[in-house]
Chain A
Amino acid sequence: MVELKLTKKEAYMQQSMENIKSNTPFSEFWRKFKKQKLAFVSFFFILFLIALAIVGPFIVPYDIAEPDYNNVLTGPTAEHWAGTDAYGRDIFSRIVAGTQISLYVGLTSVFLGALGGTFFGLIAGYYGKKVDAIIMRGCDVLLAFPGILLAIGIIAILGPGLGNVIIAVAIFSVPVFARIVRSSTLAVKSTLYVEATKSIGAVPRRIIWKHIFPGTLSSIIVYFTMRIGSAILTAASLSFLGLGAQPPSPEWGAMLSGGRDYLNIAPHVTIFPGLAIFITVLAFNLLGDGLRDALDPKIKD
């Protein structure tokens, strides 16, 4: 919106100045990214969440495990900003402390999934033929399950617990990453510079890592961000079902689950953790959207 106020000439000058200052891909990206207002706000919100995840447990006003049986299920007050739960524990403190768990689960599980998916995607895309067919059919099988169902199945085998939730979410992230990376690989593989590298005798490993992988990175980053949102959601769902975090862990999904019996007498017990999940997931999705627009070479401003 700010740009509109500038005259055409000024705008042109500003742009050319920026171009002079630095022309690296990063600055180009940053310039585009800043224009995505919502994504930009989300970006800072996520930075804030990460900070909260690190210092949260040390700055909360109440001990998150300390029950207060004289103050159960009180609504939001000046003392307890988000009210108290069925044991009289401060919900606000628990949500803040729970940030750590949700972010940790979201980031690690998607990172592991991306790692596996990228590996398989690169191999399938580069070698093609049989390898490609085998890997992609495997992915199709995994994709045939709804994500949450697959995760429940994996938990059923491994047993409940937060660690296993990470593994479950990671496993069902693998095929999606593999697909995306494979398609970018196919595109990059047919470019002239890869041809050139090949013709001067580079080994496949070097071609894949030095020349193709960087080309797929932007789509990985976009999908990575988007995926974190759904990973957090899945982890919360699993905890809600009693398959993830175990009490008294302040995991958001587990908090939701603990409050569902009081929906009509003390709705704040579910509303606040629900809000936390909602805003966090929304922020990651908006950031992902913004990143896609900023990183997509086809979208010119």
Chain B
Amino acid sequence: MKKIYGLLSAIALLMVLVLAGCSDSGGEGKGSDDGKSAEKVTKEGKDVVVAVASNFTGLDPHDTNDTLSNSAEKTMMEGLLGFDKDMKIIPLLAKEYSANDEATEFTFKLRENIKFHDGTPFNAEAVKVNFDRLADPNSGLKRHSLFAIIEKTEVVNDYEVKFTLSEPFGAMINTFAHPAALIISPKALEEHGKEIARNPVGTGPFKFVEWKPGEGLEIVKNEEYWQEGFPKVDSITFKPVTENGSRIAMLQTGEADFIYPVPTEQVEGIDGKDGIEIESKPSIVVRYMAMNTLKEPFDDKKVRQALNYAVNKDAFIKVVMNDQSSKLDSVIAPDVQYYAQQELYKFDVEKAKELLKEAGVKEGLKANLWGANNSSAIKAMEFLQQQLAQVGIEVEVFPMEAGTLSDKIWSVQEAKDADIELYYGGWSPSTGDADWGIRPLVGGEDAFPPNAYNVSYYNNPKVNQLILDGLQTADDAARAKAYEEAQGIIWEDAPWVFLTAENTIAGKKNYLKGIYLLPDGSLSVSELEIVE
């Protein structure tokens, strides 16, 4: 008899599980609505909670290299320049700027009458202190590499600074707009030293209150902010919530007002319900499958092109990205400066087979595909495996833990020793400039691992020269021309299977306005307001 009870309770348990699985689709949060056009939900007070996917690594913009920490830093500190919604450069603490034709000298005129949160006035001296810190090779700062090129920073007068570079660098203006170039109060730098990562002081719309790693970051309104009328909310709390499901539940119940990222497969399920709005926008994050161009048979351009023809990108976007991304028609995404559209490799199995045949590749070619072990990367890799099976390529998928993966790729010292064959990866060029989208990834020998991210070991002297040309001038038209040509050659050489340009996806309650993700995936809250 005992056993029967056991069995019965097991079945009961199972039923509960099944039912629990079904009940979620209804949505029991307050103000749930079956219709797509949701009713307005309202909020009391002006304190906003933002749930994000991981912890901040620090709050020193000069010493953090993840987009998430940058997002938090940007609420408290500002740079000379910044990016607007579409990744176009806008002046912030600088009024205007100029450069010489060789792209070696940059002069900035600064805005006057701005104070840091601690009362220190913002002036040319403060800018010099910050960039001297960044350019100092002994600083050990994570972002030093971006600014190592600055030879000296001079104070021309109280509100004018001049930077001199050691060699021409055409993408420097974008580098100044990068979140790594935020200006910290010189007084705070002196006071806190290394501890500035926990005591950030800037000129931004919000002031630092408290940061408990793992629990959250709290910031409050800067009453003396220099832009009239901003900020429009009293405080913001950032909470790190790693589990996708909990983050979504927090938004549904109103525990959080804004969350990102939202996993692509959940978008349809929650959009328009409980007063939730999903914002899915094109980003500059590209997804690709790199092929090791030094290894047979991928050293043959025809094979690489064949693989591009063999993968159905429409299906990739539909199945892997749940329609939350767009086709990639160059090595960089459309919102990146100097992007030039290329003609897509249309999905054509016959053509792919023909090209493989011409290249002398026999059916049953085996190849290993490496990538990260998060569920979306695994899904993408499985998809590629299915696609390449159509043209007789047997792909074995190796999802790897982040540490193992970077070990296997970036501990290789000699290009010929690299085991990598196929690699599924992504890239977000945070300067918004073509240079940082191309040079580290396909920029010839200088970019080979372990120096940079050229995992396809692509090395075309012509492209290398064009990249150099693009850097040696600050002239827009000349740079555009160089990058256009480079993109054409890279597209033709196909060191990657070009897959998709991802969307950034955020979820918010519909009473929030002015909060958005930039195309590089960082968050902007300076115009945030709560509307009724």
Please report A residues at the B interface, Cβ cutoff 8 Å: 38, 65, 67, 69, 72, 86-88, 242, 246-248, 258, 260-265, 267, 270-271, 274-275, 278, 282, 286, 289
Do residues B14 and A275 form an inter-chain contact, with CB atoms below 8 A?
A: yes
Which residue of chain A lies nearest to B249 when distances are taken between CB atoms in the complex? A264
19 contacts between A and B (CB under 8 A): A38-B4, A38-B7, A72-B318, A88-B319, A242-B378, A246-B397, A247-B378, A248-B386, A258-B378, A261-B265, A261-B375, A263-B21, A264-B24, A264-B245, A265-B25, A265-B265, A270-B21, A282-B7, A289-B3
Given the known A-B contacts A72-B319, A246-B396, are A87 and B383 also in contact in the complex, defined by CB atoms under 8 Å? yes
Do residues B319 and A86 form an inter-chain contact, with CB atoms below 8 A?
A: yes
Q: Report the minimum CB–CB distance from B332 to chain A (whole Å).
A: 27
Q: Which residues of B contact A264 (CB under 8 A)?
A: 21, 24-25, 245, 266, 269
Given the known A-B contacts A38-B3, A242-B373, A267-B21, are A247 and B14 also in contact in the complex, defined by CB atoms under 8 Å? no
Q: Which residues of B contact A246 (CB under 8 A)?
A: 396-398
Do residues A247 and B382 form an inter-chain contact, with CB atoms below 8 A?
A: yes
The 10 closest A-B pairs by CB, nearest first: A267-B21, A264-B24, A69-B315, A247-B382, A67-B386, A265-B269, A261-B375, A69-B319, A247-B397, A261-B265
Q: Which residues of B contact A275 (CB under 8 A)?
A: 14
Q: Report the minimum CB–CB distance from B262 to chain A (whole Å).
A: 12
Q: Which residues of A contact B378 (CB under 8 A)?
A: 242, 247, 258
Q: Report the minimum CB–CB distance from B242 to chain A (whole Å).
A: 14
Which residue of chain B lies nearest to A246 when distances are taken between CB atoms in the complex? B397
Q: Which residues of A contact B244 (CB under 8 A)?
A: 261
Q: Report the minimum CB–CB distance from B252 to chain A (whole Å).
A: 11
Q: Report the minimum CB–CB distance from B143 to chain A (whole Å).
A: 34
Most B C-beta atoms less than 10 A away, residue of A247, A271, A275: A247
Task: Scan B375-402; emit 1 where CB is below 8 A from any A CB, else 0.
Answer: 1001101110110010000001111000
Do residues A87 and B382 form an inter-chain contact, with CB atoms below 8 A?
A: yes
**Separation of A38 and B373 alpha carbons in the complex (Å):** 42
Do residues A87 and B3 form an inter-chain contact, with CB atoms below 8 A?
A: no
Question: Which of these, B4, B21, B318, contacts A271 with CB under 8 Å?
Answer: B21
Which residue of chain B lies nearest to A263 when distances are taken between CB atoms in the complex? B21
**Separation of A87 and B265 alpha carbons in the complex (Å):** 13
Given the known A-B contacts A247-B378, A248-B385, are A267 and B319 also in contact in the complex, defined by CB atoms under 8 Å? no
Which residue of chain B lies nearest to A69 when distances are taken between CB atoms in the complex? B315
Question: Which of these, A69, A248, A282, contacts B382 with CB under 8 Å?
Answer: A248
> Does B263 make an interface contact (CB < 8 A)?
yes
**Separation of A165 and B451 alpha carbons in the complex (Å):** 37
**Separation of A247 and B4 alpha carbons in the complex (Å):** 38
> Does B531 make an interface contact (CB < 8 A)?
no
Q: Report the minimum CB–CB distance from B2 to chain A (whole Å).
A: 10
Q: Report the minimum CB–CB distance from B59 to chain A (whole Å).
A: 32
Which residue of chain B lies nearest to A286 when distances are taken between CB atoms in the complex? B3
> Does B22 make an interface contact (CB < 8 A)?
yes
Q: Report the minimum CB–CB distance from B461 to chain A (whole Å).
A: 39
Which residue of chain B lies nearest to A38 when distances are taken between CB atoms in the complex? B3
Please report B residues at the A interface, Cβ cutoff 8 Å: 3-4, 7, 10, 14, 17-18, 21-22, 24-25, 244-245, 263, 265-266, 268-269, 312, 315, 318-319, 373, 375, 378-379, 381-383, 385-386, 389, 396-399
**Separation of A301 and B266 alpha carbons in the complex (Å):** 58
Q: Report the minimum CB–CB distance from B385 to chain A (whole Å).
A: 7
Do residues A262 and B21 form an inter-chain contact, with CB atoms below 8 A?
A: no
Do residues B25 and A271 form an inter-chain contact, with CB atoms below 8 A?
A: no
Q: Which residues of A contact B266 (CB under 8 A)?
A: 264-265
Q: Which residues of B contact A278 (CB under 8 A)?
A: 10, 14
- Beyond the given pairs A247-B378, A265-B265, A267-B22, 14 more chain A to chain B contacts, judged by CB atoms under 8 angstroms and listed by A's residue number, are A65-B386, A67-B319, A86-B319, A242-B373, A246-B396, A247-B397, A248-B386, A260-B375, A265-B266, A265-B269, A271-B21, A282-B7, A282-B10, A286-B7
Q: Which residues of A contact B21 (CB under 8 A)?
A: 263-264, 267, 270-271
Q: Which residues of A contact B389 (CB under 8 A)?
A: 65
**Separation of A248 and B381 alpha carbons in the complex (Å):** 10
**Separation of A115 and B506 alpha carbons in the complex (Å):** 56
Q: Which residues of B contact A274 (CB under 8 A)?
A: 17
Q: Which residues of B contact A260 (CB under 8 A)?
A: 375
Q: Report the minimum CB–CB distance from A67 to chain B (whole Å).
A: 5
Q: Which residues of A contact B379 (CB under 8 A)?
A: 86, 258
Q: Report the minimum CB–CB distance from B251 to chain A (whole Å).
A: 14
Do residues B399 and A242 form an inter-chain contact, with CB atoms below 8 A?
A: yes
Q: Which residues of B contact A86 (CB under 8 A)?
A: 319, 379
Which residue of chain A lies nearest to B14 when distances are taken between CB atoms in the complex? A278
Which residue of chain B lies nearest to A267 when distances are taken between CB atoms in the complex? B21
Most A C-beta atoms less than 10 A away, residue of B268, B386, B389: B386
Which residue of chain A lies nearest to B27 when distances are taken between CB atoms in the complex? A264
Q: Which residues of B contact A242 (CB under 8 A)?
A: 373, 378, 399
Q: Report the minimum CB–CB distance from A249 to chain B (whole Å).
A: 10
Q: Which residues of A contact B268 (CB under 8 A)?
A: 265
Q: Report the minimum CB–CB distance from A87 to chain B (whole Å).
A: 6
Q: Which residues of A contact B3 (CB under 8 A)?
A: 38, 286, 289
**Separation of A286 and B22 alpha carbons in the complex (Å):** 29
Q: Report the minimum CB–CB distance from B27 to chain A (whole Å).
A: 10
Q: Which residues of A contact B10 (CB under 8 A)?
A: 278, 282
Q: Report the minimum CB–CB distance from A34 to chain B (whole Å).
A: 16
**Separation of A265 and B244 alpha carbons in the complex (Å):** 14
Q: Which residues of B contact A247 (CB under 8 A)?
A: 378, 381-382, 385, 397
Q: Which residues of B contact A270 (CB under 8 A)?
A: 21
Q: Report the minimum CB–CB distance from A228 to chain B (whole Å).
A: 18
**Separation of A88 and B432 alpha carbons in the complex (Å):** 37
**Separation of A258 and B378 alpha carbons in the complex (Å):** 9
Q: Which residues of A contact B18 (CB under 8 A)?
A: 267, 271
Q: Which residues of B contact A65 (CB under 8 A)?
A: 386, 389
Q: Which residues of A contact B25 (CB under 8 A)?
A: 264-265
Q: Report the minimum CB–CB distance from B372 to chain A (whole Å).
A: 11
**Separation of A271 and B20 alpha carbons in the complex (Å):** 11
Which residue of chain A lies nearest to B373 when distances are taken between CB atoms in the complex? A242
Which residue of chain B lies nearest to A260 when distances are taken between CB atoms in the complex? B375
Q: Which residues of A contact B385 (CB under 8 A)?
A: 247-248
**Separation of A31 and B25 alpha carbons in the complex (Å):** 51
**Separation of A69 and B387 alpha carbons in the complex (Å):** 11
Q: Which residues of A contact B4 (CB under 8 A)?
A: 38
**Separation of A261 and B319 alpha carbons in the complex (Å):** 13
Q: Report the minimum CB–CB distance from B198 to chain A (whole Å).
A: 35
Q: Which residues of A contact B381 (CB under 8 A)?
A: 247
**Separation of A263 and B244 alpha carbons in the complex (Å):** 12
Which residue of chain A lies nearest to B385 when distances are taken between CB atoms in the complex? A248
**Separation of A261 and B322 alpha carbons in the complex (Å):** 12
